[in-house]
Amino acid sequence: MTDMPKPDRFSRHFDRHGPGASLTHAQEKLAARPPMRRFDIKWLDATGAIKETSKIGPAHPVFEDAFSAFARGSMVATETGPVAVEDLLPGDKILTETGPALPLVWHGSMTCNPGLSLPTGHSIALNRISPDSFGLTRPEQVLVTGPGARLARHLPNARDLSGVQYALTRVSALQDGYQVVETVPPSAVQLFHLCLPRHAIIRVCGLGFETYHPGRTLPFANTGLRAAFLGMFPNVRHLSDFGPMAGVRAEESNQDQSEAPAPPGSALRPIG
């Protein structure tokens, strides 16, 4: 369930033939393949039945974002009260800030080793948000998030012509070295993400976060990768099936000081 390293057949090859031995073309192609990861999926099918499966996919940031928002133990607001993210089941009604409660239609999870550098050149970084970082009970407890988590914040001019009310910002962009910090647990961590019938803002430990949405485009020129990604969502056939977005995502390259943790009463603050 953790990061899956490349097979050791290549080290055995060099053990047999010496350090100067060259790889065959087929072996070079195998060595160039990205590491793979296991993704666990639960979803609600067209009949309302709960289905469950596991799939192997590339350890690619786009795939990982879909499964890596909230660590085990994160409390999600539902119609029946707060529920740990790992205990949610498809069909559970999740409270939203953007309308009525909606049923959970997709529940994804993966297990990773934070800080482990993969051959692709990236690693999974986690963020630790201290209690009351964004105001009283926001969050209500220590909250650990993964790279797929985006905080929702009220825009100062929510009634502009665009109608967009929320800015969606990766938690990693809000690190201040004090209240929001990177954390590297010593053991494997299970992460989760959630999909509702439409993109929405939900409350997790008292803070507003977006549900999963891949965005308006996928960065895959390879049709096989695109199909493999959409295959992680059995209730989705086309990218457009995710529907419109509930907010605008901040460009991480343009983050400024206004996106640091905001004090209570600020015009631009995480919702809770």
Token digits for 271?
């919702």
User: Which of 87, 83, 175 shows the shortest CA–CA distance to 129?
Assistant: 175
Which pLDDT belongs to residue 73?
97
Q: What's the confidence (pLDDT) of residue 25?
A: 54
pLDDT bracket for residue 26 (50, 70, 90): low
Contact (CB, 8 A) for 105 and 235: yes
Q: What is the pLDDT of residue 123?
A: 83
Distance, in Å, from the CA atom of 71 to the CA atom of 143, rounded to the nearest integer, reads: 8
- Phi and psi at 26, nearest 5°, equal -65, -40
189 — phi, psi (to 5°)?
-125, 140
Q: How far apart are CA 66 and CA 185, in angstroms?
A: 21
pLDDT at 171 over 80: yes
Distance of CA 171 to the CA centre of its chain: 11
What residue type is 89 in one-letter code? Answer: L
- Per-residue pLDDT of 29-38, as tens digits, reads 544 567 899 9
pLDDT at 3: 54
Single out the residue of 189, 82, 199, 184 nearest to residue 139, CA to CA.
82
Q: Which residue has the higher pLDDT, 28 or 242?
A: 242
271, 208 Cβ separation under 8 angstroms: yes
Residues 186-229: pLDDT tens digits? 899 999 999 999 999 999 999 999 999 999 898 888 888 999 99
- At 165 the pLDDT is 78
On whether the pTM is more than 0.85, the answer is no
**Average pLDDT of 53-76?**
96
Q: Higher model confidence: residue 256 or residue 172?
A: 172
pLDDT at 92 over 50: yes
Q: What pLDDT is stored for residue 8 in this prediction?
A: 42
Of 29, 102, 10, 67, nearest in space to 191 by CA: 67
Q: Which helix (H) or strand (E) holds 44?
A: strand 36-44
Amino acid 140 reads E
| Phi–psi pair at 181, nearest 5 degrees | -135, 155
Query: Please, how many CA atoms are within 13 Å of residue 257, restricted to the half-sphere of its CB?
Result: 0
Q: What is the pLDDT of residues 131-156, one digit of tens each?
A: 999 999 999 999 999 999 999 987 76
- 183 and 127 Cβ atoms separated by less than 8 Å: yes
58: cis peptide before it, omega within 30°?
A: no
> What is the pairing mode between strands 248-249 and 166-170?
parallel
